[in-house]
Amino acid sequence: MSDGTNIIFEDRFRISDVDKEGKKFDRVARIEGVAENTQMKLTLDINSEIYPIQAGEQITLAVARSLLPEEMEVDGGSEAGENGDDAPRKVKREMWRGGDQGLAAGYEYVLYGKIYKFDDSVSGDAQTTAYFSFGGLLMALRGSYRHLSAVVVGEDVYLLIRK
C-alpha cells in the first residue's frame, strides 16, 4: 500500500446475522455483516467460545500482511543491500521475541491465514469476492474491487477484530 502500512483492508461492520442457516459446529459461529464505509459484505466463521459475537453488534475488522505497523529498518550496519548499495534494508522482526505485539495490541481477536481465492465473476459493477482461510475458519469479503485491490491470492495475512 502507498501509505507504508501493512493493512490490506480495514472497516467497521455491523453484524446482521449469526448462524443464519443453523449451527453446524459446536464452537464455531458464522457471522454476516455489512461495512459502514465501504458497503462490503462479510461472511466469517469465528470461534464463538473464545470470541462471542451477537447480531446487532459492531466490530472493526482489519486484514494485514504483518503485525508490524510497517517493515522495520535494519539498525546501523553497512552490509550492502540487494542492489549493492548501503541503503537501509527492510526486514521482518519476530514479534514474540521482543514482547511487542505490534498491531495485535489494538485488537481482541487475531487469526493467521491465507488468501486462497479471488472471484470477480459476481454480477454487478466491479463486484468481486476475496476468500480467506484461517486454519479452517473461512471468510469471504464481497463488494467493490477497488476496496480489495491490494489482495493477492496465496499471500499470508492476519485477521484482526475488535468490538
pTM: 0.79
C-alpha cell at 105: 495490541
**Could you tell me the pLDDT band of residue 121, with boundaries at 50, 70 and 90?**
confident
* Cα 48 to Cα 51: distance, rounded to the nearest angstrom: 5
pLDDT digits (tens, 9 = 90+) for 82-112: 555 555 545 455 554 556 678 889 999 999 9
* Cα 61 to Cα 149: distance, rounded to the nearest angstrom: 17
* Cα 159 to Cα 1: distance, rounded to the nearest angstrom: 17
In the numeric block, the cell 487469526 is attached to: 111
Average pLDDT value over all residues in the chain? 83
pLDDT digits (tens, 9 = 90+) for 7-24: 999 999 999 999 999 888
For residues 70-100, b (16+ Cβ closer than 10 Å) or e, as one string? eeeeeeeeeeeeeeeeeeeeeeeeebeeeee
User: What pLDDT, on the 0 to 100 scale, is given for residue 120?
Assistant: 81
